[in-house]
Amino acid sequence: MALDSDALAQLCAALRRFVDEELIPAEAEVAETDAIPGRIVAQMRELGLFGLTAPEAFGGLGLTMEEEVRAIFELGRAAPAFRSMFATNVGIGMQGIAIDGTPEQKAKYLPRLASGELIGSFALTEPEVGSDAGSVRTTARREGDTYVLNGAKRFITNAPHAGLFTVMARTDPAQKGASGVSAFAVERGTPGLSLGKPEKKMGLQGAHVCDVILKDCRVPASALIGGVEGQGFKTAMKVLDKGRLHIAAACAGLSERILDDMLAYAVGRRQFGKTLADFQLIQAMFADSKAEAYAARCMVIDAARKRDAGLNVSVEASCAKMFASEAVGRIADRNVQVHGGNGYIRDYRAEQLYRDARLFRIYEGTTQIQQIVIAKALVSEARAAAGR
């Protein structure tokens, strides 16, 4: 159910205060310790951040797509590691069950995911399979009332903390494409499921990823999401379209934050008898950054509204994710340039946000994957129009 305009405004205002008063002041601590303080995670739970999109019937806020992206515009202003802490529950770690799960699966998992008691994780990427769910090599063999899963998943966000994994696996080896892939809800502690060591990353300190290994991992048939084989790819696509808009909104929010930082530094820093903000070539960077941040925000809102209207937004989601993630990278780079030598020093946030922003062009589908999605759709439409 959509919030009324006043309720949405109050929610966004509360999130902005949380970002300004709690998250941004804690950024240096998180970057140094590679951990989000427990007090902040507790505040996230109290604010309902883990359940932003969970259905109200299961304890969530049930935000629409437009409401979600407006919330993420605010939360995205902080270092991305904070958003990553709850984002898998809001998106890919929960939405497969929320969209396609059986009534029993929803009742069992959604309330705990919405409260943040349970952290969800989405296990799609493999060592030789990236953004294409149709190429999954992990197998799920049916044996009576159970499935036996074998394979390895790579770069799985929040896996070190997760209590529930949505695992994409091939149930029909005869089907080499997407139709042979199914989705499973696999609980932490299931025999045969193990985790690799957390990776040391370029950025996003405080957000943790590791491998998920499945070796003769036996799960009950009731773990098959939706109870139907061969629906995993479709589930993944529904989740990824939504997730790409979420990521695009985070990029737009971070772009706006970085632009604010850039301006504040340039207004306060003096060179050659005047502030940096008075130099026209510096001003050009402000203008380019503002235009790109504004365009990213507009694209995200437009696509979100279309999704809420029931339209297929695969192309729009890819466009928004591609543009916004590339834009935030350029804006973060300009911020370092405006800071000059200080932009290369860790005491300033410019270098950390520069490293953080780089990941946005990779996860939830690389820029190159988005280009392929967009181009294939355009070619298909052109051939249909030409009757070929």
pLDDT over 90 at 175, yes or no:
no
Q: Does domain 120-228 have CATH number 1.10.10.10?
A: no
d(CA 338, CA 353): 14
Question: Pick the residue with more confidence: 307 or 124?
Answer: 307
Lowest mean pLDDT among 20-34, 67-81, 166-180, 277-291: 166-180
Q: Quick one: average pLDDT of 75-99? A: 92
Place of tokens 């051939």: 383
Instruction: Kindly state the average pLDDT of the residues 59-63.
Output: 94
306 pLDDT more than 70: yes
pLDDT at 86 over 90: yes
21 tagged catalytic: no
Does 45 have pLDDT greater than 90?
Answer: yes
DSSP-derived 3-state class of residue 216: strand
Cβ burial of 85 (10 Å; 0-12, 13-18, 19+) is buried
The answer to whether residues 364 and 243 touch, using CB atoms and an 8 Å cutoff, is: yes
Q: Average pLDDT, stretch 88-92?
A: 87
Please report the pLDDT score of residue 99 as a whole number: 87
Q: 275 CB contacts (<8 Å, ≥6 apart)?
A: 266, 267, 268, 269
- Confidence (pLDDT) at 132: 65
The two three-digit tokens of residue 331, written as one number:
């804006």
Task: Report residue 383's pLDDT band, with 50, 70 and 90 as the boundaries.
Answer: very high
- Residue 1 pLDDT: 56
H or E segment and range at residue 209? strand 209-220
Q: CATH 1.20.140.10 region(s) of the chain?
A: 234-383
**pLDDT one-digit tens code per residue, 203-235:** 999 999 999 999 999 999 999 999 999 887 777
Residue limits of CATH 2.40.110.10 in the chain: 120-228
In sequence order, the 6+-apart residues with CB closer than 8 A to the CB of 85 are 36, 41, 44, 158, 206, 207
What does the pLDDT read at residue 129? 72
Residues 6+ apart with CB under 8 A from 263: 277, 286
Contact 238, 99 (CB under 8 A): yes
φ/ψ (deg, to 5) at 117? -60, -35
End-to-end CA distance of the chain: 42
Question: Residues 32, 292, 364, 381: which is the catalytic one?
Answer: 364
Helix (H, G, I), strand (E, B) or coil at 227: helix
With b meaning 16 or more CB within 10 Å and e meaning fewer, what string describes 54-70? bbeebbbbbbbbbbbbb
Cα torsion through 64, 70, 72, 73, rounded to 10: 160
Q: Which CATH architecture has domain 5-115?
A: Orthogonal Bundle (1.10)
- pLDDT category at 109 given cuts 50, 70, 90 is very high
- In the chain, which residues fall in CATH 1.10.540.10? 5-115
Mean pLDDT of the chain, nearest integer: 93
Q: Report pLDDT digits (tens) over 126-163.
A: 987 766 667 889 999 999 999 999 999 999 999 999 99
pTM passes above 0.85 = yes
Q: Give the architecture (CATH level 2) of 234-383.
A: Up-down Bundle (1.20)
- Reduce the secondary structure of 278-297 to three states and give it as a string: HCHHHHHHHHHHHHHHHHHH
For the chain, state the CA radius of gyration.
21
The predicted structure's pLDDT at residue 105: 95
Q: Which of the residue ranges 14-28, 63-77, 118-132, 356-370 would you say has the lowest mean pLDDT? A: 118-132
Which tokens sit at 109?
Answer: 């998992």
Predicted confidence (pLDDT) at residue 238 exceeds the cutoff of 90 = no
Q: Which residues sit opposite 149 in a β-bridge?
A: 140, 217
Tell me the pLDDT band of 245, cut-offs 50, 70 and 90: very high
Average pLDDT on 239-249 reads 91
Name the percent of the chain lying above pLDDT 70.
98
Question: What integer pLDDT is reported at residue 357 of this predicted model?
Answer: 97
